[in-house]
Amino acid sequence: MREAIRLADESVRNGGGPFGAVIVKDGEIVAGCSNSVTLHNDPTAHAEVSTIREACRKLGTFDLSGCVIYTSCEPCPMCLGAIYWARIDRIYYGNNRNDAAAIGFADNFIYEELERPLEQRTVPIIPLLRDEALSSFRLWEENTERIDY
């Protein structure tokens, strides 16, 4: 956790956001990154997502089972989703979402949006060409060489 906090501090000093994360496997740090949203003009460049990407690259897998993540702040909904998709075993965090909201990083609106029916969401989410899109799913189902994830 101290390394995640150190990365967050360093990020602020270098013009990035105040978040850091590390992924550990078998007691060793596999990857560590900080928030670089403004540095790379990438809204997905949160510390957790960047760290997951780096750990997957280093380990040569998309499945981080057996790993834990230490993050300087409670993960936002996007990062939490990425952590679950990566199958990380455990999450340790420093600051909580209320601490983040107090300095202008409020995620509650996303949690609230997820609870609303699709037709009541702030950003319109509209189904389109479902019948055509289903062809990709049929191809996936028929592919005997696919790699399930």
Is 28 marked active-site? no
**DSSP state for residue 42 in the 8-state scheme:** -
Q: Are 57 and 23 in contact (CB under 8 A)?
A: no
Measuring CA to CA, which residue among 10, 64, 72 is closest to residue 46?
A: 72
Q: Sign of dihedral through CA atoms 91, 97, 102, 104? A: positive
Q: 66 is written with which tokens?
A: 């057996």
Q: Residue 5: how many CB atoms within 10 A of its CB?
A: 19
**Of residues 3, 48, 54, 141, which has the active-site annotation?**
48
Contacts 24+ apart (CB under 8 A), 139-148: none
Residues known to be catalytic: 48
